[in-house]
Copies of this chain bind each other. A is one copy, B any other.
Amino acid sequence: MSSKVRIALDAMGGDHGPSVVIPGAAEALARHADIEFLLFGDQSVIAPLLDAHPALKACARIVHTDVAVTMDDKPSQALRRTRRASSMWMAIESVKNGEADVVVSAGNTGALMAMSTICLRTMAGVDRPAIAAMWPTLRGRSIVLDVGATIGADAQHLVDLAIMGSAMARIVLAISCPTVGLLNVGVEEIKGIEEVKAAGRTLREGQIGGLDYKGFVEGDDIGKGTVDVVVTEGFTGNIALKTAEGTAKQLAEVLREGMSSSLLTKIGYLFARSAFRSLKEKMDPRNVNGGVFLGLDGIVIKSHGGTDATGFGNAIGIGFDMVRHELLGKIRTSLAESDDRRIALTAEMDARA
């Protein structure tokens, strides 16, 4: 790693492409001076936008391609040979080749996950990748994973998710020993599916370093912020995340309608504007923008496709932190320690037998 963090951007990704990516990069650079950018995409679109941001232009290099993965491409389409000339693939490949430390894309999630997995491959000892999302809670922020990379999980994969999510939490939440909960339909040990119960036993008895296992948590514990890291497999995690997003939008819509229903409520809205602003800020999806792909041999950050420059800048900021605080090294160390511990436990059991 050079003294600067080298960030590859899929400049064509997302609903708005370079018109959001470039100003987003400029915002990130204003907060973190030691970045170098590699911008993958259409030079004729990117270059004029860069002219508006001289500081960014000074530390960015454009790598031209006129192929882009669209938001509607299926993962299988994205993986076709021709797509390896796309801005998304080339940005990922720059991480594999060691030209960049992290890649950030607002492009289509399925394609990004498929390309990242094929190009970077999973880390030694991890079978399948995961997506970790940041979730605003009453206590601040928590990390929820997997929100949709992998459907289904055996006990070992759930334990790996706990280890990887904790490594990420130590960086993002700046907590040395984050609390971890397994998402379940009840908090008693006898509840739930077999895989979750087995993962609970391992986490309880395995004395895995760097995390503080708190047992099972339920759906409403996520928003309460009961634990720093909520672990679940990708099907349930994706549905929980989207259900929460849907509920938040639903409440906002009902409130908006109510607030514009009469002169009185409109006046009330004016007086109480600061309260609504505070609600909006606390629940602002831009503040938690940036899903982290975990379990791959390289760092990939997925920005929401529809976000603005501030949101995209935040996703870049997460990527920056993950590199600076050595996410991959932390995960590798934790996984190795957990393996050692497992081997020691097995040896103890053998000695007793």
Contact = CB atoms under 8 A, between A and B. Distances in A.
Contacts of A276: 258
A274 interface: yes
Interface string A226-245: 00000010111011111111
Given A239-B239, A254-B138, A259-B275, A245 B269 contact: no
Contacts of A272: 258-259, 264-265, 267-269, 271-272
B247 A244 contact: yes
Given A236-B235, A238-B219, A239-B183, A274 B258 contact: yes
A246 B258 CA distance: 22
Contacts of A265: 271-272, 274-275
A270 B275 CA distance: 13
A250 B219 contact: no
Given A239-B218, A249-B220, A271 B274 contact: no
Contacts of A137: 250
Q: How large is the interface on A (under 10, 10 to 19, 20 to 34, 35 or more residues)?
A: 35 or more
A353 to B, nearest CB: 32
A30 interface: no
A278 B250 contact: no
A251 interface: yes
B268 A238 contact: no
Contact of A262 (B193, B269, B274): B274
5 contacts: A74-B190, A219-B246, A223-B246, A262-B274, A265-B271
Interface of A: 74, 110, 137-138, 148, 151-152, 183, 185-186, 188, 190, 192-193, 218-224, 232, 234-236, 238-251, 253-255, 257-259, 261-262, 264-265, 267-276, 278-279, 282-283
Given A219-B239, A232-B239, A255-B275, 4 more contacts: A240-B240, A254-B278, A264-B272, A268-B271
